[in-house]
Amino acid sequence: MATTISPAPPAPPATRAVPLWRRMPAGLLFTLPFLVFYLAFLVWPTVSSLFLSFFNESLTGTRGEFVGLANWTEMFGDSAMWSAFGNTVYFTLLSTPPLVLIGLVMALLTNRAMPLRWLWRLAFFLPFLLPASVVALIWVWLYQPGFGLVNDTLARLGLAEAGWLTEPDLAMVSVVITTVWWTVGFNFLLYLAALQQIPQHLYDAAAIDGAGWWQRLRSVTLPMLGRTTGLVIVLQLLASLRVFDQIYLLYQGTGGPNFAARPILEHVYTTAFTNFRFGYASAISTFFFVLIVTVSVAQLKLFPSSSNSSNSSKER
Amino acid sequence: MDDVSRRAVLGTMLAVGALPLVACGAGDGARTKVRYWNLFAGGDGLLMLQMQDDFRAKNPDISLEAVTLAWGAPYYTKLAMAAAGGRGPDVAVLHLARMPGYAPGHLLDAFDVDLLEEVGLDPAEFPPGLIERATVNGRLYALPLDTHPFVMYYNTDVAQQAGLLDAAGRLTPINGPDALIDALTRAKKVTGKHGLALDNLDVMPWRLFYALYRQLDGTLALPLGGSIGIDDAKALQALGLMRRLTEEGLATQGLDYAGAIAAFVNGDSGFHWNGGWETTTFSTAKTPYSMTRFPNIFGNARTTGDAHSFVLPHQRSRDPEATRASYRFLAHLIKSSVTWGKAGHVPAYRPVATSPAYLALKPQSEYRDVTPDVQLDPPAWFSGSGSDFQNQGGAAFQAVLTGDLTPQQGLDQFKGAVDKLLTTPSPA
Amino acid sequence: MTSVRAWNLVGLLVTAFIAVLWLTPLLWAVDTSLKPEGETTLVPLTWFSDNFSVEAFQRVFAQSDMLRWFLNSTVVAVGVTALVLATASLAAYGFSRTDFRGKRLVFGVVVAGIMVPPQVLVVPLYDEMLALGLIDTYWAMILPQVAAPAMVFILKKFFDGIPRELEEAARVDGASILRIFWQVVLPLSRPVLSAVGIFTFIFTWNNFFWPFLAVSDPDLMTIPVGLATIQSSYGLRYAQIMASAVLGGLPLLVAYVFFQRNIIRSVAHTGLSGT
């Protein structure tokens, strides 16, 4: 930072005695610390991702020439990329409805007075507090054939055992079950907070009109939850599109049986850090980045009022 | 633009404010620190712990920090990243077949022959085939610890009841596909569940396929920029046998690694195919077991495998003291690899492999003649244990084992995946 | 009224059923961790054992670096949380109460950043950290997680709602803007600050992807990374694996039990519920 002592840079005469930070508007000084982080770790990587995608940069440090659009043309013809892309979309479509609906049902159930309510709420939310690694360790154990709890229970019920982690058709279903168990607590919490903010007088009025439980739900509760639902769906879509942790950990980075559960971020990860191709991985990242931002912008148009809240606070 | 200069420019641009923030590693004072990474997560990991403790006891001036990372792609990814970051461990284990992908000279530093001599190691005392693969441009980048074949474990109780043991209580050699089917069928009758505990996931289907394919004298060519050279008929023959094992219920279907181990430990299966490194697990679990070479199914006794080797991951600045201590450490491990032999690995260092102590190890040393028959992956930047290549093979052939793909479909998928790897520019 | 009671009972039963379903995996993990290794895979499975013991836990403590990971997680989560609270609240106040040329544009860029998925930027971020020589340091894990535009947005929304009269009074008394921020605004913002702090802490503590890439040195690994990367058991050890899973999940669960009320209230404060 420039000070009045340093004689080296001849400052303009008018401001000689005034240190640089004094000359800056106070507001800029307030925002500056944050902006430094923001520029260095969010804006710069975004720009550099696009930049890297034109180089054949490698983790081994042996390459780094400009290759023009080679990475991009390779990507659009890369069947592994498209199948990972398809898996990501499949996961998103499969996981979003239960994550929203079960969260809503849980909130509706525990918003009423009932014995041991704290315990039920705790049970629904607890898994969300676990790190992905713990979740994966537990579910790999549960999904084991023969001596896994899931298959053992199925067998006791007279049903057939399933190869949860080994059958390509089930590979993503298992991930969805695990994910719902793990993260539905967050949506539950959002709904619960929203329910608690519905004014009591609306219910009172409905009760005077003789509305039963079902009618109150339909005419008061659900309409009042409309904005929350929009928000939850949007956050969930964005979170599901970025799936990586639990899939990587459940299948130890192999992509699941015959790659049936390899999401796009794992493809990026494998390309960059297992096959060392930073340039190509950046092309895929940039492509996916544009896609996610497009989804975000689309939902901004669809849910104009509710969508500009946090979504980075939901990083799973 | 040159990569190094590009990173340098980037660094200068962004480092100005951040440089003072770089954490300073706390030194250990008088003792030289050696950081060692390995991937021995199986029963052999326990033996490695013993060898490390032994080293610590005998070398109080060295502080050894040893870490075991999760086997396979996660380990190799971490190792590459650590070396690229320039703060990697001093010594690490690498499967020899993985070496071409580690860009010797970039992610790996070469061994100093003088220092090796100082700690009493002579490259001539190692199998020449392995040393050849470990040498690039005349410099040695890896020092082999062992060769480890894909082997066959059998439950001695089950085999006894199935009438598969000879008078001396050893398994009657299984030669040819019919003998194999017969043995598994009889074992299955005894256990009531399966004949063979087989891990269907990850790279195990690849190991099995390559062993069978090489027994058929099949060759595999990986010309960079071209397409895979493989004998379809032989590959289909190997895959057909694999599918037959699961289809007829002789082998477990849908089990992962730990599941297959458990199925063998529980006595649900009479046989188990795996690397030799689970001996400790079975001994600890008191499973009545023995082991032998992978059966001679198709006429020559080849089997799959690789060689655990020590490498020096690239470091931005190499401390001479730590380097010398590292050489002492790996010399200790190599010279005391009789202990390692207990894990079912065949020591690579001749003085150990021919020592009475090793020869007395039964059943481990009984298949020591396997070394020349152990088939490493053909060399390519993307092949070797736990590599993307094996992962691709594992995925395709696993689908064959579970019946999701026919052998022909599985083979086509594998060939397509390898062709793509071949046309991918090598990052090394 | 009987129908209301019947409905309440049905609601309770359904709730309890789901809760049991949700707790079972956790309980099974704890159950397994207390069994001797030999009994974990015995079929048919049982919840009870005559030989329950804490041996698996003792082994985890003896063989793994769980305590070290716990320390690292604490350093990273506390560091990120402190830096987020400091930088985001300053920035939010700047955007809410001061004026400078280009403010609207800068704020617009920051809000747009909320849509940027950080996971998609790991490759360029890694490249950047490599260039900075920060790979394998705490800083590599901490610094990128400080750039949390959503938190700036939440705080600004809250500051916008504080009546300006309070600050005017202080200004008349001659207090500087920094002093007003520190002595008037921050004390009023305790609920939203604790909300931002709690969520930042939880997400940082559990964050896997970036710390997993940023650090290869086992001495620096956080709990999620260490559990996923380091092998502390050998061969078949389900009791031990479940013991490490239980230990890895425990710190936040314990913290949650202490802060449970605050967390539900936080959601309302952050405006996350959309109402």
Chains touching B by CB (3 or more pairs below 8 Å) = A, C
With respect to residue B177, please indicate whether it lies within any of the assigned structural domains. yes
Least confident of A275-284, B38-47, B332-341, C237-246: B38-47
Other beta carbons less than 10 A from residue C182's beta carbon: 12
C-proximal residues of B, 277-316, CB under 8 Å: 278, 280-281, 284-285
Q: For the residues of chain C, what is the DSSP string, one character each? A: -HHHHHHHHHHHHHHHHHHHHHHHHHHHHHHHHHS-GGGTTPSSP-S--TT--SHHHHHHHHHS-HHHHHHHHHHHHHHHHHHHHHHHHHHHHHHHH---TTHHHHHHHHHHHTT--GGGGHHHHHHHHHHHT-TTSHHHHHHHHH--HHHHHHHHHHHHTS-HHHHHHHHHTT--HHHHIIIIIHHHTHHHHHHHHHHHHHHHHH--HHHHHH---GGG--HHHHHHHB--S-SS-HHHHHHHHHHHHHHHHHHHHHHHHHHHHHHHHTTTT--
Sign of the dihedral through C-alpha B235, B236, B239, B245 = negative
Q: How far apart, in whole angstroms, are the C-alpha atoms of residue C213 and residue B81?
A: 8
Average pLDDT over residues B115-125: 94
Question: CB-based contact (8 Å) between A142 and chain C?
Answer: yes
Chain B: give the shortest CA distance to residue C128, in Å: 7
The predicted pLDDT at position B284 comes to: 83
Average of per-residue pLDDT across B218-228:
93
Stretch A203-223: mean pLDDT: 85
pLDDT tens-digit readout, C120-175: 999 999 999 988 989 899 999 999 999 999 999 999 999 998 888 888 888 888 88
- Neighbouring-strand partners of residue B171: B165
Q: Is the dihedral of CA B399, B401, B407, B411 positive or negative?
A: positive
Nearest CA in chain A to C125: A45
A41: in domain: no
Are both B271 and B299 inside the same structural domain? yes
| Tokens of residue A268, six digits | 């990026």
Output the pLDDT for position B21. 41
Taking an 8 Å cut-off on Cβ atoms, the answer to whether B81 and C38 are in contact is no
Range of the structural domain that residue A88 is part of = 84-129+165-302
Residue A98 domain flag? yes
Task: Give percent above pLDDT 70 in chain C.
Answer: 93
The pLDDT value recorded for residue A15 is: 47
Closest of A259, B93, A159 to residue C231, by C-alpha: B93
Whether the link from the prior residue into C44 is cis, omega within 30° of 0, is yes
CA quadruple A177, A183, A189, A191: dihedral, nearest 10: -50
Exposure string (b/e) for C220-258, b if CB count within 10 Å is 16 or more? Answer: bbbbbbbbbbbbbbbbbbbbbbbbbbbbbbebbeebbee
Residue A121 has pLDDT above 60, yes or no: yes
In this structure, what CATH number is given to the domain that contains residue B313? Answer: 3.40.190.10
Domain count, chain B: 2
pLDDT at C171: 86
The CA–CA distances, whole Å, from B315 to B24, B132, B318, C134 equal 16, 24, 6, 14
Task: State the Cα–Cα distance between residues B107 and A75, nearest whole angstrom.
Answer: 27
Number of domains in chain A: 1
Q: Do B229 and B126 fall within a single domain?
A: no
Average of per-residue pLDDT across B139-166: 95
pLDDT at A308 over 90: no
**Residues in chain A within 8 Å Cβ distance of B200:** 166
Residues B270 and B356 reside in one and the same domain: no
Residue-level pLDDT at C273: 45
In a domain, B188, yes or no: yes
Residue A162 touches chain C, beta carbons under 8 Å? no
Q: What domain range includes position B200? A: 148-305+375-423
Residue B286 lies in a domain: yes
Going from the C-alpha of A56 to that of each of A46, B2, B6, B384, B428, the distances in angstroms are 18, 11, 12, 23, 12
| Exposed / middle / buried, residue C163 (Cβ in 10 Å: 0-12, 13-18, 19+) | exposed
B226-231 average pLDDT score: 95
Q: What is the CATH number of the domain that holds A243?
A: 1.10.3720.10
Based on the fold, state whether residues B299 and B173 are members of the same structural domain: yes
Query: Which tokens go with A170?
Result: 């089930």
pLDDT value at residue A285: 95
The helix (run of H) or strand (run of E) holding residue B76 is: helix B73-85
A17 burial class (0-12, 13-18, 19+ CB within 10 angstroms)?
A: exposed
Q: Name every chain B residue with its beta carbon within 8 A of the beta carbon of C238.
A: 258
What are the structure tokens assigned to C82, written together?
């402190």
Chain B nearest CA to C270, separation (Å): 32
Please check whether residues B86 and B103 belong to one and the same domain.
Answer: yes
What's the pLDDT score for residue A304?
57
Nearest C-alpha of chain A: how many angstroms from B386? 10
Helical H runs in chain A? 20-23, 26-38, 44-52, 70-76, 79-110, 117-125, 132-142, 149-156, 168-196, 200-208, 213-216, 222-224, 226-241, 245-250, 264-269, 278-302
How far apart (Å, rounded) are the C-alpha atoms in residues A184 and A176? 11
Measured CA distances, A170 to A173, A275, B204 (Å): 5, 28, 20
Q: Residue B359: helix, strand or coil by DSSP? A: helix
Terminal-residue alpha carbon distance, chain C: 33
- Residue A21 in contact with partner chain C when CB distance is under 8 A: no
Is residue A41 within 8 A of residue C146, CB to CB? The reply is: yes
Does residue B23 form part of some domain?
A: no
Is B93 domain-assigned?
yes
Contact residues, chain A, for B254 at CB < 8 Å = 145, 163, 166-167
What's the mean per-residue pLDDT of chain B? 89
Q: Are C15 and A109 in contact (CB under 8 A)?
A: yes
pLDDT reported for residue B368: 87
Three-state DSSP at A82 gives helix
> Nearest to residue C230, comparing CAs of C243, C241, C246?
C241
Q: What is the pLDDT of residues B315-369, one digit of tens each?
A: 988 889 999 999 999 999 999 999 999 988 999 999 999 999 999 998 888 888 8
For residue A4, pLDDT over 50 is answered with no
Closest by Cβ to C274, choosing from A31, A227, A272: A227
Is residue A75 one of the residues assigned to a domain?
no
Residues in C touching A297 (Cβ below 8 Å): 115
Strand B271-275 relative to strand B196-197, pairing = parallel
A 58-87 residues with CB < 8 A to C: none
Least confident of A17-21, C43-47, C246-250: A17-21
Residues 6+ apart with CB under 8 A from B13: none
**B48 assigned to some structural domain:** yes
Residue C173: partners with Cβ closer than 8 Å, 6 or more residues away? none
> If DSSP codes are grouped into helix, strand and coil, which group holds residue B163?
coil
Residues 6+ apart with CB under 8 A from B163: B186
Residue whose token pair is 């007003």: C180
Residues of A in contact with B73 (CB under 8 A): 252-254, 270, 274
Question: Which of residues B369, B389, B413 is at a domain's end?
Answer: B369
Residue in chain B nearest A259 by alpha carbon: B395
Q: Pick the closest to residue B77 from A253, A190, C206, A161 (CA basis).
A: A253
Across the interface, do B254 and A166 touch by the CB < 8 Å criterion? yes
Going by C-alpha positions, the residue among C148, C81, C75 that lies closest to residue C110 is: C148
In a domain, residue A92? The reply is yes
Distance CA B68, CA B37 (A): 6
What is the rounded average pLDDT of the residues C38-67?
A: 87
Q: Determine, for residues A64 and B402 on separate chains, whether the beta-carbon distance falls below 8 Å.
A: no
For residue C177, the model assigns a pLDDT of: 87
> Tens digit of pLDDT for each residue in A25-58?
788 889 999 999 999 999 999 999 999 999 988 8
CA B143 to CA B353: how far, in whole Å? 15
pLDDT higher than 90, residue A200: no
Looking at the structure, do residues B230 and B347 belong to the same domain, yes or no? Answer: no
Same domain, B364 and B254: no
A136 near C228, Cβ under 8 Å?
A: yes
Please answer yes or no on whether A129 and C273 come within 8 Å at the CB atom.
no
Mean pLDDT, chain C, whole residue set: 89
The mean pLDDT value of chain A amounts to: 86
A315 belongs to a structural domain: no
Distance CA A195, CA C40 (A): 43
Dihedral (C-alpha) A147, A153, A157, A160: value to the nearest 10 degrees?
-50
Interchain proximity C224–A132, CB inside 8 Å: yes
Q: Which domains occur in chain C, in start order?
A: 65-230 (1.10.3720.10)
Residue C119's closest CA among A45, B151, B244, B269?
Answer: A45
C40 vs chain B: nearest CA distance in angstroms? 10
CB nearest B14 (choices: C41, C131, C218):
C131
Nearest CA in chain B to C212: B78
Burial of B186 (0-12, 13-18, 19+ CB in 10 A): middle
Q: Which amino acid is at A39?
A: L
Q: Is A60 within 8 Å of B80 when comparing Cβ atoms?
A: yes
User: What H or E segment, with its residue span, contains residue B291?
Assistant: strand B289-293
- pLDDT for the residue numbered B279: 85
DSSP state of B32: E
Residue A245 lies in a domain: yes
Confidence of residue B151 (pLDDT cuts 50, 70, 90): very high
Q: Which of residues 377-396 of B touch A (CB under 8 A)?
A: 382, 388, 391, 394-396
In a domain, A22, yes or no: no
Nearest CA in chain A to C176: A26
CB distance from B19 to chain A under 8 Å? no
- Chains with 3+ CB–CB pairs under 8 A to C are A, B
Residues in B closer than 8 angstroms to C134, CB to CB, are: 18, 21-22
How many beta-carbon contacts under 8 Å exist across B and C?
Answer: 104
pLDDT reading at B229 higher than 60: yes
Residues of A in contact with C70 (CB under 8 A): none
From the CB of residue B113, how many other CB atoms can be counted at a distance below 10 Å? 13
- Is the pLDDT assigned to residue B8 strictly greater than 60? no
Residue B217 lies in a domain: yes
Q: Does B11 touch chain C (CB under 8 A)?
A: yes
Average pLDDT over residues A135-142: 95
pLDDT of residue C74 exceeding 50, the answer is yes
Given a cut of 70, whether residue A307 has pLDDT beyond it is no
Residue A272 belongs to some domain of the structure: yes
pLDDT band of residue B374 (cuts 50, 70, 90) is: very high
Burial A85-99 (b: 16+ CB within 10 A, else e): bebbeebbebbbeeb
pLDDT at C235: 64
Q: How far apart are CA A105 and CA C257, in angstroms?
A: 23
User: Any idea what DSSP says for residue A218?
Assistant: I
Q: How do B374-375 and B303-306 pair as beta strands? A: parallel
Residue B347 lies in a domain: yes
The number of beta carbons lying within 10 Å of the beta carbon of residue C271 is 20
Query: CA quadruple A91, A94, A100, A105: dihedral positive or negative?
Result: negative
Q: Do C139 and B18 touch (CB under 8 A)?
A: yes
For every residue of A56-81, DSSP letters joined together read: --BTTSS---B-TTHHHHHHHT-HHH
CB pairs under 8 A between A and C: 327
User: Structure tokens of B255?
Assistant: 């089990």
